[in-house]
Amino acid sequence: MNSPIFLAAVAAIAGAFALVQPHLGPFWQSLLINILMYTALATAWALFSGPTRYVSLATAAFFGLGAYTMAFLGEAMPLPMVYLSAAVIGAVVAAIVGLSTLRLSGVYFVIFTFGLAELIRQLVTWAEAKFGGTVGRFVFVPVSPTDIYFMLIAACVAVFALGWWVQRSRLGWALRAIGEDETVARHAGIDVTRAKVLLFSLSASVMSVVGCIMAPRWTYIDATIAFNPIISFQVLIMALLGGAARLYGPVLGVVPLAILFELLQANFPNHFSILLGAVFLAVVYLVPRGVAGLLEKRR
Amino acid sequence: MNTTRRAALGGIASAAIISTAHAQTGPIRIGYSISRTGPNAGGANVTTLPNYQLWVRTVNEAGGLRVPGGARRQIEVVEYDDRSQSEEAVRNVDRLINQDRVDFVLPPWGTGLNLAVGAVLNRGGHPHLAVTSVTERIPELVQRWPNAFFFLGRSSAASEALVTTLQGLQRGQGLGNTVALASVQDQFGIELVNAGRAALNRAGFRIVMDRQYPLGQQDLAPLLAEAARANPEIFIAFSYPPDTLAITEQARIANFNPRVFYTAVGTAFPLFRQRFAANAEGVMGIGGVDISSPRIRDYVARHTQVVGRPPDGWASPVTYASLEVLEQAIAQVGTDRAALIRAIGSGTFDTIVGSIRMENNQRIAQPWVGQWQGENFVAVGGAGTLTPVQFPKPAWRPA
């Protein structure tokens, strides 16, 4: 897809989301919040994991860091500063982690990122119990669901703009080369580690901001809520269904799966997990290259 | 349990078909989002869900909820699974209120999920009958959410009632003053131990051990070994259900026999008594019921018959009582939610756990310390009708 059309499409869809807001009841707004949240997370995930083919399960770690940023700073500083802090914290943690671990690849990287969410969760619990005197945190900030809705639209626009820019930049080329063959990329003079860490940080930064936006919706967070591994898995499966190789790919997975989850939840609340498992199997067997891949094959 | 549930739902469904579309005589729709799966499922399936089912069945078999004017309306249930996730709970309650348009929403299990749905229920103007939601910040919460009612009080009340009970044993029974403390690193565990430590110090007890362990810790043998070395008169573990079982088991294996042995959440579960049989005798824990009350005995019998196992001795009867409060308030003022919130906040209600009257949307007076005596987890500390403590706890017997 060429860039003017892509950017126009993003702007038009974001505008449409903003325009329909006054006509949404709380229920539909709730559903769209879910779709927007996963769109931002899955696109941010694919930003790094798509070109490099490093499968990351650390989404929950950065999402949770953002949620905790809101819990700690939400009442202490103006809200825009809180979101900015979340972005910085996510990027800094990702850079530190990335420098030490992006030399890993394949399954080692997958396991490490999964462990990362658990490690941060345990660290937060330990520190809270030791110094905070409690493990749960209340998030009482004046952010309504409608505010969350608009902020998520902004986050989605930002992540698409970021992705568009990265694809066009030298960094994007470097990452695609790494995804094809890391050794060759290194021999071609690409600073492999720098490229990977940079993009890992950008992607993590978006995830943290999304966590920070979502936290006021729950009034209360503890480490189990904030660092819920389900978030990592859902983001992964959504991005894979959509297709991580294209910037617009993850959305094609997020929308059908979010609607499907909603239908399953509303109609088969007691069989949700079983049906979900069946859907995952179908995704992996029937659409291995994602919806975006199917669409391109048609052409 | 599944068949009884289906039978109950079947009854509701047929009642729904029979009743006319007229709003005043049709069924009253009650919805809840509960953790059927995920880490909260254990608590939800012991304490919350069985009581919702038992109550709906009891009410419908009696002809339905009484409304002003004397008519009765059947209850129709809408149920969702939140999979123990805050975001799912929020969306389910949004769906119940705005899409299913239920008349009332019953709360989920656990502090985190209750607080997650608290804001949604507040915006929707629904009464929030929070039971399994215990935190120190309840007084602040009820300021923000005047529609919320807290039936189990604050963590510090539990610890302070325990210390008062121990002081009684010191005066009357010659209990010593050395205490070993263990606590789980989770919100409730930390709040309990903070309040407990302060109250113990104020009351002149000597804390000889004070250890915390992470949630989900499997191996608690070193902790119990350290406690045994300290040789305290009193052992207190502010624990959660899995560690309550593990700590008790480990104490039995190590033959660690303090004169008072207290484990917190989960001690009141029927599972505890099943697992330890005669060794449960004399173990103290959080909760306790007044077993001399005929209404409690009737409740335990009905719960056992319908659910297939007895209720737990702490939050189960209170959960059921919160539903009785709702039922009686509906009988007084009908289904107008604003009037209902006022009625619950100001009325006095006769329930299986005795008379309930909210003070600033909180139920303050209640038993806080329970002890296994025979088949029952009886109330021995806190407020209400109490049974004398069995002291000292008998030594462990080989299993």
Tokens representing residue A114 in the block: 């999964």
- One domain for residues B346 and B371: no
- One domain for residues B10 and B118: yes
> Average per-residue pLDDT in chain A?
89
Closest CA of chain B from A219, distance in Å:
5
**A108 in a structural domain:** yes
- One domain for residues B170 and B281: yes
- One domain for residues B36 and B143: yes
Provide the whole-model pTM. 0.86
Closest CA of chain A from B182, distance in Å:
13
**A23 in a structural domain:** yes
Residue B45, beta-bridge partner list: none
Tokens representing residue B312 in the block: 């737990």
User: Which chain B residues in 195-214 lie under 8 Å from chain A, judged by CB atoms?
Assistant: 212, 214
**Residue B6 touches chain A, beta carbons under 8 Å:** no
DSSP track, B157-202: HHHHHHHHHHHHHHHHH---SEEEEEEEESHHHHHHHHHHHHHHHH
- One domain for residues B21 and B147: yes
- One domain for residues B142 and B163: no
Nearest-CB residue to A135 (from B81, B83, B185): B185
**Residue B342 touches chain A, beta carbons under 8 Å:** no
Question: Which amino acid is located at A75 in the chain?
Answer: E
**A278 in a structural domain:** no
**A254 in a structural domain:** no
**Residue A268 touches chain B, beta carbons under 8 Å:** no
- Number of A/B CB contacts below 8 angstroms equals 98
pLDDT per residue as tens, chain B (399 positions) = 343 444 444 444 444 444 433 455 789 999 999 998 888 888 899 999 999 999 999 999 999 999 998 899 999 999 999 988 888 999 999 999 999 999 999 999 998 899 999 999 999 999 999 999 998 889 999 999 999 999 998 999 999 999 999 999 999 999 999 999 999 988 888 889 999 999 999 999 999 999 999 888 889 999 999 999 999 999 999 998 889 999 999 999 999 999 999 999 999 999 999 999 999 999 999 999 998 999 999 999 999 999 999 999 999 999 999 999 999 999 999 999 999 999 999 999 999 999 999 999 999 999 999 999 999 999 999 998 999 999 999 999 986
Tell me what ipTM this predicted complex has: 0.84
**B71 in a structural domain:** yes
**B398 in a structural domain:** no
Q: In CATH, what number is assigned to the domain containing residue B259?
A: 3.40.50.2300
Q: How many CA atoms lie within 13 A of A6 on its CB side?
A: 16
**Residue A53 touches chain B, beta carbons under 8 Å:** no
Closest CA of chain A from B276, distance in Å:
30
DSSP track, B94-130: HHHHHTS--SEEE--SSHHHHHHHHHHHHHHT--EEE
User: Which chain A residues in 62-91 lie under 8 Å from chain B, judged by CB atoms?
Assistant: none
Closest CA of chain B from A199, distance in Å:
28
Nearest-CB residue to B187 (from A25, A135, A272): A135
- One domain for residues B167 and B48: no
- One domain for residues B51 and B136: yes
**B194 in a structural domain:** yes
Domain that holds residue B108: 2-154+293-357
Task: Give the residue, A267 or B67, on which the prediction is more confident.
Answer: B67
- One domain for residues B138 and B263: no
pLDDT digits (tens, 9 = 90+) for A213-262: 999 998 888 888 899 888 998 899 899 888 888 888 899 999 999 999 88
**A170 in a structural domain:** yes
- One domain for residues B230 and B378: yes
- One domain for residues B310 and B273: no
**A148 in a structural domain:** yes
Query: Considering its fold, how many domains does chain B have in total?
Result: 2
- One domain for residues B132 and B218: no
**A24 in a structural domain:** yes
Query: Considering its fold, how many domains does chain A have in total?
Result: 1
Put simply, the answer to whether B144 touches A214 (Cβ < 8 Å) is no
pLDDT digits (tens, 9 = 90+) for A88-106: 999 999 999 988 888 777 7
Put simply, the answer to whether B115 touches A138 (Cβ < 8 Å) is yes
What average pLDDT does this structure show over A163-192?
A: 87
Neighbours of A143 (CB within 10 A): 19
Residues 6 or more apart whose CB falls under 8 angstroms from that of B280 comprise: B272, B273, B372
**A282 in a structural domain:** no
Put simply, the answer to whether B116 touches A219 (Cβ < 8 Å) is yes
**Residue B95 touches chain A, beta carbons under 8 Å:** yes
pLDDT digits (tens, 9 = 90+) for A8-50: 999 999 999 999 999 998 889 999 999 999 999 999 999 999 8
Put simply, the answer to whether B115 touches A265 (Cβ < 8 Å) is no
**B48 in a structural domain:** yes
Quickly state the pLDDT bin for A299 (edges 50, 70, 90). low
CA dihedral (B105, B111, B116, B121) positive or negative: positive
Tokens representing residue A130 in the block: 């030791």
Nearest-CB residue to B112 (from A129, A136, A214): A136
**Residue A146 touches chain B, beta carbons under 8 Å:** no
Domain that holds residue A206: 3-227
What is the CA B396 to chain-centroid distance, rounded? 28
